[in-house]
Structure 1
Amino acid sequence: MNVKSFFSEHIKAALKNDPPGAWMPDLPNGCIRLSSGYPDPALVPAVEIKGAAVRLLDEEQDLPLHYLGSPRIEGLKKQIQKRLAERGIEVMEDQLLITSGACQAIDLIARILLDDQAVVAVESPTYMEALEIFQNYTDQIISIPVDSEGLQPERLEEILNQRKRTDLTLPRFFYTIPTFQNPTGTTMTIERRKHLLELSNEFDFLILEDDAYGELAFGKSTLPLKSLDNRGRVLHVGSLSKVVAPGMRIGWIAGGSEFIKALEWFKKDLDHPFSQSTMAVYLENVDLEKRLDQLKDVYRAKCDALIRSLEQFLPKSVSWYVPEGGYFVWIRVPGVDTSHLLSQALAKGVSYVPGKYFFLDEKDGTEFLRLSFSYADEKEIIEGIRRLGQII
């Protein structure tokens, strides 16, 4: 039997890409994980979530374990609406969809907006899993460079004008991580955010804002792009993965009601009622602002330790951006193929993600690598950078 003969042409095309997660290195035992974009293990509220699950089952018995789940799911929606409002995003109930994490949110948006005729624009570099998702729907992807102030909107404007003059298809949407970007850690300035919104209106495209790290500012917070959107151009994706626990799979999409209705049509029963109900109980009993302050303090200290270690142990030729929040630091190592360097790093017991995986054209990322300061402790971070410095 030829299994592939049963696949649709759409799926056959998608399966020609690298498999999802191919960028993840196999880590030796005891390896210092500067590759992992995971929360600090000590900051995951396992005890509190266990307590929330017990309380939920004690109070509601079997109800959260059914298809429809607990009425607290609606409470979770209201909790997220309140949180968004505090960040300048006012949405009605029919303008918000709870999803199984941010990746499901991005995939659903791609599903309703993309086909093999559609064009999508992305930052360069960008989140590799979003690239993987978009490549499942279209091979027409264009990249716009990022610098120390985030997206370069003037470059996007040049490309849009050029495509318009030559009758090339304009993007259906632009995917951006404007705040503490993955992988560069950069933040798009307010001026550039406004310019991007103006371009979306002028050239009639949508904006997919991935705000996974937006609440992890080390100093003054930056307003989400969606809070500046007065024309309904922005589909805002958020998540509790970075501020509570990724395994709970709680994300959302905030956008126009017609978009939300279409997204809901395809999400159907792809929910986790028990997880959503448990999260609602957890949020009922936690001071989220206090928790966020704790997270910011820990990640700020870790980031400072990493930057100090880079200055101490890496050659002067190596450069990086200093993030103002989030999880990541983006490194350039001139003249070095960081993919080839990785095997030596792993042998020395330290991991990172080679830069090539964050680019549409992998050659653009040869000299770059991404470091995460979120997962390892400060002592491990310092030792990991010391080892990496020796290898470089």
Structure 2
Amino acid sequence: MNEKFPLSKDIRLVFKHDPPGQWLPKLPPGCIKLSAGYPAPELTPSQELKEAVARLLDEEGDAPLQYIGSPRTPELKQYIRKRMAVRGMETAADELLVTAGACQAIDLIARILLDEEALVVIESPTYMEALEIFQNYTEQYLSIPIDENGLDTDRLEQVLLDRQRAGQALPRVLYTIPSFQNPTGTVMSLDRRKHLLRLAGDFDFLIIEDDAYGELAFEERPVPLKAMDADNRVIYVGSLSKVVAPGMRIGWVAGAEELITLLSWFKKDLGHPFGEATMAAFLEKTNFADRVDRLSGAYKEKSEAMTAALKKHFPESASWYTPDGGYFVWVHVPGIDAAALLQTALDAGVSYVPGKYFFLDEREGREFLRLSFSYVNETEIEEGIRLLGKVVSELK
């Protein structure tokens, strides 16, 4: 031991909550990864990105490798603005900040908007990593359930009215994934989107719209909340992780200019010049609309394969939402403990994510599990669901 820096073996890091990433166990070799919310390997543009890097360095030399970065970097922001405009969201350059994926965007938003007194409305269930982020800043939450039409805004309104009448604190922020939600795959209905925006005005809170999956619609794409936002209450979080490659770490946040200025002050990593320039070079040579259509078609087929396999191999008591886009199927199996069952499933050769990680109160997720159809092929989907169905049926 270095006496200048002594450390006791008894020192422990104390967490109020489980450390991040506890939902991702070590997987045995050959395991069918129904837990993996990753893009399909065959649809990830490895060769195109390789060519983009070569073109970038050939044309610009060391510029993309320096702090100031490539002249292509501003082009990435312009591309993002154009994609948003296609979906009804007109955004000025000073109303958008490029981030290292959606998680950095959410963390920056939480850093400037939340404190120990801040009340946050979350969906139940919700994206586990967003929940982990918010728990770094506040312990005050309202958890509102989701059904097949997304966030139950009638329930939300009643809770807010009750709190207002009782003189209790009202929320500062509401976090939602309205389109192809993680983990449920559900879509908030148009009527509920309108209702939510009205509630934000009536009760004076901001909405964080996480739209990571919004372009991956099997049929018609939902209208983003941001496109319906007349009062600038929606802070929009986007990502290229699901439609290009998550390892590129390209996300963004769009909102009021004052908000974006504050976010940029707290973003101390000097940007990501090489990754942003590479993405810009890739997009120069890509018909992105065609790419998204191809992804959506492929994931639709995978989704249909998974729901067909669930009907074939799972007990009749099981139920799930049939997704219209995104990556996930959310399964309810009455009577099981999904977390306790995971090791048995892993031993059988298949993985999933137990539902408890998506709830503020983990007990609410006991009988649920999240399955992903995005990463695996249709043969693996069929076999993985067969194995998992056998494990579930033997337990019951």
What TM-score range do you get, normalising by the shorter chain?
over 0.9
Name the SS for the 2:208 alignment partner. Answer: strand
Name the SS for the 2:194 alignment partner. Answer: helix
Q: Are residues 1:150 and 2:150 paired?
A: yes
Aligned to 1:246: 246
| Superposed CA offset, 1:242-295 (max 9, x none) | 000000000000111010000011013342110000000000100001111110
Q: Are residues 1:197 and 2:197 paired?
A: yes
Distance in 2 between residues matched to 1:250 and 1:39, nearest whole Å? 14
Counterpart of 1:225, as a letter, is L
Q: Are residues 1:223 and 2:223 paired?
A: yes
| Superposed CA offset, 1:128-159 (max 9, x none) | 00000000001112200000000000111111
Aligned to 2:23: 23
Of stretches 163-172 and 21-30 in structure 1, the one that deviates more from structure 2 is 163-172
Aligned to 1:7: none
Shift of 1:26: 1.3
Shift of 1:71: 1.4
Q: Identity of counterpart residues, as a percentage?
A: 61
Distance in 2 between residues matched to 1:70 and 1:277, nearest whole Å? 6
Within 5 Å, give how 1:107-146 maps onto structure 2.
Answer: 107-146=107-146
Shift of 1:168: 1.6
Distance in 1 between residues matched to 2:326 and 2:307, nearest whole Å? 14
Distance in 1 between residues matched to 2:164 and 2:7, nearest whole Å? 42
Distance in 2 between residues matched to 1:366 and 1:142, nearest whole Å? 20
Name the SS for the 1:369 alignment partner. Answer: strand
Within 5 Å, give how 1:1-392 maps onto structure 2.
Answer: 15-392=15-392
Name the SS for the 2:282 alignment partner. Answer: helix
5+ residue gaps, structure 1, are 5-11
Structure 1 runs of 4+ aligned residues shifted over 4 Å read: 1-4
Shift of 1:336: 0.6
| Superposed CA offset, 1:150-192 (max 9, x none) | 0000111111111112222111110000000000000000000
Distance in 2 between residues matched to 1:53 and 1:142, nearest whole Å? 45
Shift of 1:25: 1.7
Distance in 1 between residues matched to 2:269 and 2:138, nearest whole Å? 25
Label 1:79 to 1:315 Cα distance change in 2 as closer, same or farther (>3 A). same
Distance in 2 between residues matched to 1:270 and 1:391, nearest whole Å? 49
Aligned to 1:8: none
Name the SS for the 1:137 alignment partner. Answer: coil
Distance in 2 between residues matched to 1:332 and 1:252, nearest whole Å? 33
Distance in 2 between residues matched to 1:132 and 1:169, nearest whole Å? 22
Distance in 2 between residues matched to 1:299 and 1:40, nearest whole Å? 9
- Does the CA-based 8 Å contact 2:69-2:274 persist in structure 1? yes
Shift of 1:3: 8.2
| Superposed CA offset, 1:188-208 (max 9, x none) | 000000000000000000000
Counterpart of 1:226, as a letter, is K
Counterpart of 2:91, as a letter, is V
Counterpart of 1:212, as a letter, is A
| Superposed CA offset, 1:275-323 (max 9, x none) | 0000000001000011111101110000000000001111100000001
Distance in 2 between residues matched to 1:2 and 1:83, nearest whole Å? 54
Of stretches 159-168 and 105-114 in structure 1, the one that deviates more from structure 2 is 159-168
Name the SS for the 1:298 alignment partner. Answer: helix
Name the count of aligned residue pairs.
384
Distance in 1 between residues matched to 2:278 and 2:84, nearest whole Å? 20
Name the SS for the 1:161 alignment partner. Answer: helix
Q: CA RMSD in A?
A: 1.3
| Superposed CA offset, 1:106-134 (max 9, x none) | 00000000011111110000000000000
- Does the CA-based 8 Å contact 2:239-2:250 persist in structure 1? yes
TM-score (normalised: structure 2): 0.95
Distance in 2 between residues matched to 1:276 and 1:266, nearest whole Å? 19
Distance in 2 between residues matched to 1:295 and 1:45, nearest whole Å? 11
Counterpart of 2:320, as a letter, is W
Distance in 2 between residues matched to 1:240 and 1:373, nearest whole Å? 19
Counterpart of 1:116, as a letter, is E
| Superposed CA offset, 1:348-383 (max 9, x none) | 000000000000000000000000000011000000
Of stretches 237-246 and 290-299 in structure 1, the one that deviates more from structure 2 is 290-299
Distance in 2 between residues matched to 1:286 and 1:193, nearest whole Å? 32
Name the SS for the 1:107 alignment partner. Answer: helix
Counterpart of 1:193, as a letter, is R
Distance in 2 between residues matched to 1:212 and 1:269, nearest whole Å? 22
